[in-house]
Amino acid sequence: MNGIIILEMQLLGIDFAPVNTPMRRRLQTLAAGFGFATFVFGGVFGALFLLYVILYTNRWPEAIIYLIWMLIIDKDICDQGGRRVEWVRSWKWWKYLKEYYPIKLERVPWLELDPKRNYLFCCFPHGILPTSTFSAFCDNSSEFHSLFPYHTPHLCVLKKLFYSPILRELMLAVGMCSVSARSLEYLLGAPEGGNVAGLIVGGAEETFYSQPQHYNVVLKNRKGFVKMALKHGSPLVPVFSFGETDVFKQINNPKGSPLRRIQDWMKAITGVAFVLPLGRGYLQYSFGLVPLRKPISTIVGKPIEVLRTPNPTEEEINAVHDEFIKQLIDLFEEQKHNYLQNPESARLIIM
């Protein structure tokens, strides 16, 4: 690389990063690892920090006021389009994270969005953590603004996450909203158009199926997003991220196994999928919670037009749902030869 000899080192079976790794690559690794830790552990750390302030410092009145504001006064902001802060969305940190894998956002040829309409982008797969979807919707260095200059992206996530002290402020600042029906009504019902609501349809359930070179999506019985699109006449747009499931391995957890039963039980209680990701470390490649450096390509497919139907029937919902599944499979089959090493054996499995 530019005349630099990379000096690899192995000790006690651990593969360490080269000692002369360029600083930019180290910053990329730091951004990827810190980004993962922030969104996985940030809520717990925020709660513990507030508890410490309340119990052990003289700043407890401010902490109490913040909790009252968060839980009572400001609790509905995530259902009303959020509170994005362009300065936060432009942090160079997110650019380093994007470069680490790297992540790129593309669209199929001849795709244009009507500036006066709202769209529902249905994103797959979730992966251990939907890094590519975050990059596409929450980072101003993303290609989103050049591809769709007349639309504002909103990433819709589990509402429970907005009860996480301090972390919620970062989530709102980067453009996240609740995935509740009320939130989607707000975004898709905007009369002036110009909104793109990003929805990870498979949700936490899909996390359990995330394994490298496996393409399993939870969609067969997920139809609420179709009903919402029909109510507002918002086109459904299939989005697939090739490589998302490659950035982490996880301990094998087939359905019915003791580990999976525990995970299903915890998810039923909290709504959050608890998995055991296997990545790398900051200074070595053998183990850790830093994602693996694997390329991710997010492809935006063609919109599926739906007729505005305020009270859609089950038959109408099923018809659009079947068409969406077909279009998603077609997108996967059309694009897999461009992004997968073994496209002939790759199959998209609808679960």
For residue range 310-341, list pLDDT tens digits in order. 999 999 999 999 999 999 999 999 999 999 98
Give the model's confidence band at 11: pLDDT under 50 very low, under 70 low, under 90 confident, else very high: low
Per-residue pLDDT tens for 20-41? 899 999 999 999 999 999 999 9
**Residues 216/206, Cβ–Cβ less than 8 Å:** yes
Give the N- to C-terminal CA distance of the chain in Å, as an integer.
Answer: 43
Based on DSSP, count helices (H) and strands (E) in the chain, helices before strands. 12, 13
Six token digits for residue 207: 């996390």
Six token digits for residue 340: 């997968």
Residues 6+ apart with CB under 8 A from 263: 208, 253, 273, 274, 275
Residues 6+ apart with CB under 8 A from 92: none
Percent of the chain with pLDDT over 90: 84
Q: Tell me, what's the pLDDT at 308?
A: 96
Give the model's confidence band at 9: pLDDT under 50 very low, under 70 low, under 90 confident, else very high: low
pTM beyond 0.85: the answer is: yes
Question: Per-residue pLDDT for 4 more than 50?
Answer: no
Six token digits for residue 40: 């996985």
Task: Return contacts of 178-182, CB within 8 angstroms, 24+ apart.
Answer: 178/78, 178/79, 180/79, 181/224, 181/228, 182/79
Burial class (CB in 10 A: 0-12, 13-18, 19+), 245: buried
